Amino acid sequence: MSVNKSKHYLRHMIHACVSGSLLVPMAAFAQQDDTPAVEEVVVTGSFIRNSAFAQNNPVDTVTQSDILESGAASMGNYIRDLPYTQNTNTVANVNAGNSGSQSSVGTTFNLRGLGENSTLTLMDGTRSVDAGINTLLPEIAIDRLEVVLDGGSALYGSDAVAGVVNLIPVKDFDGFRVRLYHQFDEPQDFEDNKIGVMFGRNFSNGINYVFAADYARTTPLMMYERPRTLRAAYGWANSGNPGVWRELDGATANPGKVHGGDLVGGNLVDPSCGTFNEVTDFGAANNNPSGIPRPGNNCFFNYNAQWPLAEGKTEYNIFQNMTFDVSDRVQLEAQMSLANRESENHNTLSYQLNANNREGLVVPESHPANPFGMDVGPWTWRPFAAAGTLPSYTDLKTGARKQTYDDTIQRYKVGARFDLTNSWTANSSYSWQRTHRDYTARMINMPNIAAALIGQGGPNGNEWFNPFGSADVRSPFYDAATTANSQALIDWIAPTVPFRTSQRELTVFEVNATGDLYELPAGMAQMAIGYQMRDIDEWDYANPLSAAGLDYNTSIIDTPPTSRNYGSRVQAAYLEFEVPLLDTLDAQIAVRHENFTTYDLQTTTPKIALRWEALPELAIRASVGESFLAPTPADARPFDPNENCGEIFFGSDPITGGVLNGGATCSSGNPKLSPETSDIWNVGFTWEPLDDLTLSMDYQSIEYTDRIRTLGTLDIVAIEFEEMLAAIGSTPEAYDPTPGSATRQAANAWVAAGGLSNVTRDSSDNQRVSRVVSQAQNVSTVWVDLFDARATYTMDTNNWGSFTTSLNATYNTKYEYADGGEVVDALGKQNGRTGIVAPVPKIKGQARLSWIRDKHSASASWNYQHHVEFDDNVNNALTGTPPPEDGRIRSQGIVNAQYTYLMDQYFDSEITLSAGISNVFDELPQRLPILGGFESRLHSPWGRQFWLSVDWRPGF
């Protein structure tokens, strides 16, 4: 290990020296050349300076004023409303992981809804080790965002399948600035607070220094704080405490090991089930603490109130940038940014039934609290729910388990720009970045709980753990002498385990040059040439309790997980030409070759574009190109079925006709992955018929093949079902899951012969799912056709000020995907039963009216999403919430408004006061009988919010 580390840091030093060696001679050369410097305008979308293509490609620019005028509490909430993004991670939803994470933290761009990993995110033109928008820069230091919407692998390499986002910081600032922001919802259940500072100085010796920092705190919003939605949500499990048991035959208690017995007979419901439910309203916190009796001898647990709609989080960001003009021709740059985000993760107090419960836990007949008079084992049960003595780390308001994730991101970059001649400029940069996550896990020690069930628990090894509802003082069966659990015993069973879960390092070295190539009859041909090296190292650390075989959620049968390290090196070379064919017609040709030495994979991606200035006011553009996305080292890691295991909360099993609740869900690597590829062609125009009117439209077609997606539990079980039907020669309509039917017997035989390797089932006749292992896979092809339209008009009046109206909209005309050979139309649908695509409204748009007069300004915006067809599983067994009568999740239009007043002569300072309302008409999400109670990938549960902002610039 020490040798590898030495090589690792030696490599960094070599790269730094190479960067420096490039700077010194070129700086000297530049100082000898007295030709005046050339003004440079660089826009994302081309390496050629002053490129007409970069400025007229389908590139959207978002300025800091755009963000401020929106009133969005964060970049994540702002980009969620952009017409070309889908399924942006801003709302937490329990287990709703289809088409991307929904944790409400670490928001990234998801262009066209093609997946967060399909958009390449740059920070100041350099790849980022972490694509989370809120941790790239302090918001006060954001100059603008530039979004390339037609793919960019020919210029920027892997990951730019759907497009490229470049976050450009403020680098030239002289003065001091402070900004305060406060936002709260109308019921005052949660709030966002932020303070940012920026300082800059232009020194006479050619040095410009910018420092910026911000602090942001978002309080959590729990589901019980939105009772209207919570009452509709499917958030129940058939495993709880009180739970359901079965007789255990032939078992020998062996803490931490399998007991060797069999669960026999029917369900035995804990006698305390449903006996002390003072609060039964599903919209309230801590409702139904003793469970909900259900037909078939079941006792359901409603876990909804223990989950958040938005995680609480605290974020710190620091950014520094220094440029030094060595001469008129040489500029050196050093950049540093640090970010830290602490997220509060809420979930159920303990995971429910898994293989360990049934194969490792024994409650003997002699247990003093055993109500059944026989040896029993858990059937559908969890150690802790909402009854009895709970672990000390329990959140008393909700009964939830609150764990913290601490993400730290470091970025360092040095570079130089130098004018080689009057027309050639070169750039070189070297960056090193690292991100790591530290986790405070609230866990359950498997041998400890097994020992406590046989009277060998606690610090002194002589206490009984009562797993029944009689442990709660409210139970009619409570007896302080025989059924109570001591706090010391519970905390011995349920420890807190802090550890580092992951670490990732990225090193990027890049050098390029751009300038005039030769004079053609129609003008000067230009060229850019460059080289890039990227090194990625990833560490995935095993939970210490799991690695020791002590974790309740890690199978006691399989090999314990181990810490792993993965790496990848990429070397790339690229060329770009801009060639004037006629006085009004230019061509852009770009090609990039990337060599992934780790995977023995090489790709070459081209792009060709034309720009025709048909009229002085009208530019027409067309492009065709390819993009690709290579598998990450983590996705391509070796397969281990016992990694990252948790709980299956929901879903039905098509083979048995039962539920998936109670099984374990794990995720592992897939070394057989191939890269994703896409073909994108675009045609569009920009027209300025009037001085203050700009119209733009693009038609784009995307074919996206071999998409890498980590399928959800439901997708994997559905694949298993399809393979089983094909093997036994049946169809979904003809298949009968009833035990004893001909098709069910054939299915049992297929499962017993091996079935699908990613799904493990009980060996008994019931064939219940005990584990599902998800992997990143090349699962599908997606076809997308769409129109992007933009219009901006400014009207100046003599007395009423200046008015600007803008409209941005995306109209999808085609969104299809191939799944198992079948082409599925996903356009205008919720796509609730697949992890391949997100909900895709046909129309998503944003209209804005802005006004400015002297020191006053105001704006109002309307963010619209078209309706989609509801196609999710209906789960209303407890709530009775019906699906939409018309089969649609309705369209939604959210209106935001803000007003700003500028005090520019206030004690030699400039003070900007802003106030606004988000969601003016308090539009609430449509209630649906699904997870979370609404479609969180489309709608937000915040309701009406108010915000205030103060921006102060002393001496300005």
pLDDT tens figures, 106-116? 788 888 888 88
pLDDT of residue 134 exceeding 90, the answer is no
Cα distances (Å, whole numbers) of residue 674 to 180, 599, 628, 754, 853: 47, 10, 10, 26, 57
Alpha carbons within 13 A on the beta-carbon side of 450: 23
β-partners of residue 772 are: 665, 759
pLDDT of residue 15 exceeding 80, the answer is no
pLDDT tens figures, 250-281? 999 999 899 999 999 999 999 999 999 999 99
Domains and CATH numbers, the chain: 41-222+312-344+508-636+673-710+779-954 (2.40.170.20), 236-302+350-383+385-395+440-493 (no CATH)
The pair of structure tokens assigned to 921 is 């008409």
pLDDT of residue 25: 34
Contact criterion met (CB below 8 Å) for 119 and 164: yes
Contact criterion met (CB below 8 Å) for 527 and 548: no
β-partners of residue 825 are: 816
pLDDT of residue 33 exceeding 60, the answer is no
For tokens 């374990």, the residue is 664
Question: Which of 113, 125, 138, 136 is CA-nearest to residue 164?
Answer: 125
Cα–Cα distance between 285 and 237 in angstroms, integer? 16
Instruction: Look at the chain and count its residues.
Output: 956
Question: Which of 96, 94, 98, 118 is CA-nearest to residue 108?
Answer: 118
Mean pLDDT of 504-523: 95
pLDDT of residue 437 exceeding 50, the answer is yes
pLDDT of residue 65: 82
pLDDT of residue 664: 77
CA dihedral 918, 921, 924, 925 (to 10 degrees): -80
Residue 185, phi then psi, degrees to nearest 5? -85, 165
pLDDT tens figures, 553-611? 877 777 788 888 988 899 999 999 999 999 999 999 999 999 988 777 889 999 999 99
The pair of structure tokens assigned to 484 is 């109570």
pLDDT of residue 67: 82
pLDDT of residue 114: 85
Long-range contacts, stretch 898-901, CB < 8 angstroms, 24+ apart? 898/69, 898/70, 898/71, 898/858, 898/859, 898/860, 898/947, 899/856, 899/857, 899/858, 900/69, 900/856, 900/857, 900/858, 901/855, 901/856
Contact criterion met (CB below 8 Å) for 723 and 759: no
pLDDT of residue 508: 97
Residue 671 CB neighbour total at 10 angstroms: 12
Strand residue runs (E) in 91-139: 119-123, 126-127
For tokens 């369900």, the residue is 267
pLDDT tens figures, 309-351? 999 999 999 999 999 999 999 999 999 999 999 999 888 888 7
pLDDT of residue 878: 87
The pair of structure tokens assigned to 452 is 């406590």
Give the distance, in angstroms, between the CA of residue 238 and the centroid of all CA atoms in the same chain: 29
- H or E stretch covering 63: strand 59-63
Cα–Cα distance between 36 and 30 in angstroms, integer? 11
Residue 602 CB neighbour total at 10 angstroms: 11
Cα–Cα distance between 234 and 2 in angstroms, integer? 51
pLDDT of residue 694 exceeding 70, the answer is yes
pLDDT of residue 662: 66
pLDDT of residue 52: 77
Question: Which of 791, 787, 803, 805 is CA-nearest to residue 844?
Answer: 787
Mean model confidence pLDDT for the chain:
88
Parallel/antiparallel/unpaired status of strands 221-222 and 308-310: antiparallel
pTM: 0.87
Mean pLDDT of 896-909: 89
The residues, any chain, with a CB within 8 Å of residue 39's CB and separated by 6 or more, are: none
pLDDT of residue 623: 93
pLDDT of residue 354: 62
pLDDT of residue 515: 95
Cα–Cα distance between 641 and 559 in angstroms, integer? 9
Contact criterion met (CB below 8 Å) for 361 and 450: yes
Q: Give the single-character DSSP code of 931.
A: G
Q: Is residue 117 very low, low, confident or very high in pLDDT (cuts 50, 70, 90)?
A: confident
Q: Is residue 14 very low, low, confident or very high in pLDDT (cuts 50, 70, 90)?
A: very low
pLDDT of residue 35: 37
Contact criterion met (CB below 8 Å) for 682 and 696: no
- H or E stretch covering 26: helix 2-32
Cα–Cα distance between 458 and 454 in angstroms, integer? 11
pLDDT of residue 34: 41
pLDDT tens figures, 364-378? 999 999 999 999 999
Cα–Cα distance between 743 and 415 in angstroms, integer? 67
The pair of structure tokens assigned to 261 is 């017995």
The residues, any chain, with a CB within 8 Å of residue 693's CB and separated by 6 or more, are: 791, 792, 793, 794
Q: What share of the chain is helix, strand, coil (3-state, %, to 5)?
A: 15, 45, 40
pLDDT of residue 94: 58
For tokens 């093949």, the residue is 705
Give the distance, in angstroms, between the CA of residue 688 and the centroid of all CA atoms in the same chain: 38
Contact criterion met (CB below 8 Å) for 538 and 566: yes
pLDDT of residue 71: 73
Residue 376 CB neighbour total at 10 angstroms: 26
Cα–Cα distance between 479 and 471 in angstroms, integer? 8
Q: Is residue 924 very low, low, confident or very high in pLDDT (cuts 50, 70, 90)?
A: very high
pLDDT of residue 36: 38
DSSP string, 491-552: HHHS-EEEEEEEEEEEEEEEEEEEEEEEEETTEEEEEEEEEEEEEEEEEEPPPHHHHTT-BT
pLDDT of residue 793 exceeding 80, the answer is yes
Contact criterion met (CB below 8 Å) for 747 and 641: no
Residue 478, phi then psi, degrees to nearest 5? -70, 135
pLDDT of residue 355: 63
Contact criterion met (CB below 8 Å) for 61 and 361: no
For tokens 């909402």, the residue is 386
pLDDT of residue 26: 34
pLDDT of residue 658 exceeding 90, the answer is no
Cα–Cα distance between 389 and 676 in angstroms, integer? 50
Parallel/antiparallel/unpaired status of strands 119-123 and 262-269: unpaired
Cα–Cα distance between 890 and 881 in angstroms, integer? 16
Question: Which of 354, 362, 240, 382 is CA-nearest to residue 770?
Answer: 354
